[in-house]
Structure 1
Amino acid sequence: MNESHDPNGRRLPRAFAADISTDLTAGRAVELAEVYALDAVSDAERSAIEEYVKTAPEAERESFNERVRQARETLAVAFTAEEEPPADLFGRIVAQLPVNPAAEHHEAQAAQPPAADDLAAARERRDVRRRASGMRNWLIGVAAAAVIALGGVGVGAYMANQNDPLTQVLQAQDVRQATVDVSGGGTATVSISPSKDALVVRMKDVPAPPPGKVYQMWLIPKDGSTPVSQGLMDAEALSKPAVVKGISSAASLGITVEPAGGSSAPTSATVAAAPLST
């Protein structure tokens, strides 16, 4: 499919189909994330998206949910009441919106008397479908242009930040997943991408660490040397994905329970361990 770009070379939205089901069938669920986050869909379309995402591959589901979260955070930042928007914000947004031929066609037709014959009615139904698709593309354009105008806060429609390690890992061609049990309950899912030399850890149904304790992640080197700390996970961090880089020299990822503030080396047995090599 052809792509268009703004004057700065940044990618603008591609055209959507006239209905959500066609977009889902075409594999555009992740690209619908911003439309979903903006609530620019009907109740039936929202249900269709949610049903699709429920059964989608985990990497696709995580990418969709992450883009929804980032889009909502972008809007929250963009429309914070305490901050005065730039005086030229509206003009900058309008200047970067994609052209909407369907809307222009509708304006031209509006000046003509309403058609009464069957052929005119069929044309009107066709135009309604086109306008629905055009409106969806216009809304996506607004989201994308707002992100551009506000300095690239978050991730807008069709503008997933290619420098975002989370996105890079989850969308990598060679990404593979391993899910391991965590002692005490829950699981840890590790998405591994050798080409990106990184992995993403997602915890599910894992209880919060005991008072005064944190979970600490470690890369266990292949040569048997001392494990290398990769960060801490307290009760709040358990609900968020964690990115670990530089995995090429590691045999596995281990998670231990350590005193608050972490340790320079593991002080307890691992509560979860995931091999990184096949």
Structure 2
Amino acid sequence: MSTAELHTLTGAYALHALPESEQRAFERHLEDCEACSQEVRELSATAARLGLAVAESSPRDLRERVLREITTVRQEAPAHGRRERTGGRGRTGRWYAYALAACVAAAAAFGGVAVWQNQLAQDARQEANQAQRQNEQLAQVLSASDAKTSSGELTGGARGTVVVSQSQNRAVFLASGMAPPPSGKVYQIWFNDEGTMRSAGLMDPKASDDAVLLDGPVDQASGMGITVEPAGGSAEPTSDPVALMDFPTA
């Protein structure tokens, strides 16, 4: 395996997706390649954070929704040991269970009765499925055989890494040590389409370290930028970029 090929294996190695022979070869390569070592550390840290994403915080309006619907929805009869099929014990099932447990805990904490309410259960299932799909797509980009990475320093000493896969036509941005945006603001990511900025999604304003699957295909974009925007984002940039990064080409 050539050195050029070894440089493309950082994402797959961080996700433990390499066959044993390629893993050994790549680990020998890491001893002499500081750039790949840095990328592996950043990608491994991101993979660990994604592993913790199975626990979801309950929405702020959950208490009001539960208490309001208690008065309109009849409580279901006991299931007598019946188990609902969840399609296996995979990640989706765990996320669904956590979300539903949050509903029950919130109702009990405010003096309510544990309620198995269909609409809340459906909302939790949809949110869990959406989170699973996004994490799966993010992992596919990081582990793609043609994934290419580019890293650089950002404003305030933060560090950013962008991973692009042409076969997936998607990109992932990994941030480390970013300062929180001003109150009422959010970091918004943009594709750079030959000077025209196309929205690629919002970053979590509470996370100094974040992994973001850019919203939409890469297509002909040559890079990305980050601006500070009002909460909820903007249709086009309204401030100077706090970061600009070119997409890797080789």
TM-score (norm: length of structure 1): 0.47
Which residue number in structure 2 is paired with residue 191 of structure 1? 163
Which residue number in structure 2 is paired with residue 252 of structure 1? 223
Shift of 1:63: 2.8
Deviation digits for residues 168-208 of structure 1, max 9, x if unmatched?
11121122222222223312221221211111112211111
Q: Counterparts of 1:236 and 1:173 in 2: how far apart (Å)?
A: 32
Q: Determine if contact 2:204/2:210 at 8 Å carries over to the other structure.
A: no
Q: 1:146 to 1:233 in 2, by over 3 A?
A: closer
Which residue number in structure 1 is paired with residue 149 of structure 2? 177
Shift of 1:88: 3.5
Shift of 1:28: 10
Q: Determine if contact 2:14/2:43 at 8 Å carries over to the other structure.
A: no
Q: % of aligned pairs identical?
A: 32
Which residue number in structure 1 is paired with residue 210 of structure 2? 240
Match of 1:263 among 210, 228, 234: 234
Counterpart code for 1:182: L
1:95-134 maps to which residues of 2 (within 5 A)? Answer: none
Match of 2:50 among 50, 66, 78: 66
Q: Determine if contact 1:208/1:234 at 8 Å carries over to the other structure.
A: no
Which structure 1 residue ranges, 5 or more long, are not aligned? 1-26, 32-53, 77-81, 97-142
Which residue number in structure 1 is paired with residue 181 of structure 2? 209
Which residue number in structure 1 is paired with residue 190 of structure 2? 218
Counterpart code for 1:273: L
Q: Determine if contact 1:161/1:167 at 8 Å carries over to the other structure.
A: no
Shift of 1:261: 3.6
Shift of 1:69: 3.4
Q: Counterparts of 1:55 and 1:252 in 2: how far apart (Å)?
A: 18
Secondary structure of the residue aligned to 2:144 is coil
Secondary structure of the residue aligned to 2:150 is strand
Secondary structure of the residue aligned to 1:59 is helix
Secondary structure of the residue aligned to 2:222 is strand
1:11-160 maps to which residues of 2 (within 5 A)? Answer: 30=16, 57-70=41-54, 87-89=81-83, 143-144=89-90, 147=93
Deviation digits for residues 15-51 of structure 1, max 9, x if unmatched?
xxxxxxxxxxxx89759xxxxxxxxxxxxxxxxxxxx
Counterpart code for 1:62: T
Secondary structure of the residue aligned to 1:67 is helix
What RMSD over aligned residues (CA atoms) do the two structures have, in Å? Answer: 4.4
Q: Determine if contact 2:46/2:210 at 8 Å carries over to the other structure.
A: no
Q: Determine if contact 1:255/1:271 at 8 Å carries over to the other structure.
A: yes
Deviation digits for residues 204-223 of structure 1, max 9, x if unmatched?
1111112333211111103x
Q: Determine if contact 1:30/1:64 at 8 Å carries over to the other structure.
A: no
Deviation digits for residues 201-257 of structure 1, max 9, x if unmatched?
1221111112333211111103x3x31112223522554321113112101110112
Secondary structure of the residue aligned to 1:241 is strand
Q: 1:265 to 1:184 in 2, by over 3 A?
A: same
| Greater Rg by CA | 1
Q: Determine if contact 2:193/2:221 at 8 Å carries over to the other structure.
A: yes
Q: Counterparts of 2:202 and 2:134 in 1: how far apart (Å)?
A: 25
Which structure 2 residue ranges, 5 or more long, are not aligned? 1-12, 18-37, 59-65, 67-75, 98-124
Q: Counterparts of 2:164 and 2:142 in 1: how far apart (Å)?
A: 8
Alignment: residue pair count: 169
TM-score (norm: length of structure 2): 0.51
